[in-house]
Structure formats: C-alpha cells, structure tokens
Amino acid sequence: PKNFVNYMGTMHQLDDDDGGTLPEGLKQASVALKSGEDGEQVDEDALTVLKAQQRIRAQQQHFKDEAKKRIMRVCKQAMSMLDDACDQIGKRFLSDRLPPALLEPERALTKEAFANNAANYHDAAKKIWPNTLCRLARPGIARLVIEDTQAVLYHCNDNSRVYQGTPLSPMEFEIDDAPAIEQLLTTVEPHWIMVKDLIHGDIEDKMEIAQALYDEGILATVLTESPDRSVQTG
C-alpha cells in the first residue's frame, strides 16, 4: 500500500486501547467510544488522538492481512518447487561424488562381473528375462527426475576419480516408464523385485527398461530358475 511507512514499523506501534499503559484521558475516550456516549464529558483532544490511533490500527491490520496473503502465495509457490529443487541438489551431488566402489558380492551381480569373467557365466546371465530378480547395485547411486515430458535417470557409476572429470550421462525414457524405473531404483539390498512385477503395461517394455539399467552397470540381477523364454526382446 502507498505510504505504508507512515503507519508501519516500531515507531508506529500503539499501546493496547483496553488499558495498560494508555494515559487516563485516552482510557476514558476509549470507554466512551465503545459505550456509544456522545463524548461531551470526554476530553476532545484525547478523543481525537484515540480516533487517529484507531485509524492507524485499521491501516496496520489491513497491511498485515495483505502481507500475510502475499507471503502465503509465495510459500505455496516455493512448496510446489520443493521437489524440483531437491532433484537439482541430488543431481549436483551425483555429479560431484566419486564412482561407487562396489564390494565383490555386489560386483558379482552386475554386468561388470559378466564382462570380466564371461567364461563362467551362462549366456542367459547377460540378458534380462521376465523372471529375473533385480535391485539397485548400491543405494543412492542413481536418481530419477522428470524433465519436460521425459523421465531422465542420472547415475554416478561412470564418474571419474578426478573431480567432475566425467560429466553425467543422463538416460532418457518415456514418461510412462517412470513408475517401473522408480521401483528399480528404490529396491535395494536385501530386497529384490522380479521384472514381470514392475509397473508397466507391456512385459517387453519392462524387460527393456531393466536391460538398459543393467547395461549401465547400476542394476544387480540374479536368476534363481531357468529363464522364462516366453517373451523375447532385442
């Protein structure tokens, strides 16, 4: 509001008109106004001062009400941006951190184990099947964010040991792939999730999503039974 400095601030704080530290004349004027008396027995100067204070108090209350509405509007906007802000911080952390140093039991369930010792693995081990059990190789190494109309996955598996030596390489997916990706990223040791149980309409898409994460080296897999070859991809 215009001229708000003329009635807001410490120097314009008013005493309570219900008593307390008000001068006796203002107390009487306040009682007269509240009781509806004509004010003839009240000091006119005190009455004028009290009316001026009431006008200032009304202006102050209006200012506070408007300020509250605008502050709440800003807060609501800020709250709506909270998830996006956390995603940006999460991406920055992934970019800054070292690549995960997987322990041998963790590495044995990832693509790296197959690549380094392919002779000891059946061919079915390098491919995702409907009955393959999956989980994130190490908690916290990947993050899913929504950018424009795509689901984008960031991970630190390919990070350099030199600070920010290797930029993050995002993986882009269709937006309807996001629920299945989220399930894979939030399933961590000691839990597993079977590919066919992922949230998605097509089993082929489920397998392709899991295969993409496995090929990136961020997905641990295990096949406890013969592969379900009823569905083929790739």
d(C-alpha 182, C-alpha 161), whole Å: 27
pLDDT in tens, the chain (234 residues): 778 888 888 777 765 544 445 555 555 555 555 555 554 555 677 778 778 888 888 888 999 999 999 999 999 999 989 999 999 999 999 999 999 999 998 988 998 876 666 555 555 567 899 999 999 999 999 999 999 899 999 999 999 999 989 999 999 999 999 999 999 999 999 999 999 999 998 999 999 999 999 999 999 999 888 888 777 665
- Report residue 8 CA to chain centroid gap: 37
**Does pTM top 0.75 for this prediction?**
no
Could you tell me which residues come within 8 angstroms of residue 191 by beta carbon, excluding any fewer than 6 positions away? 135
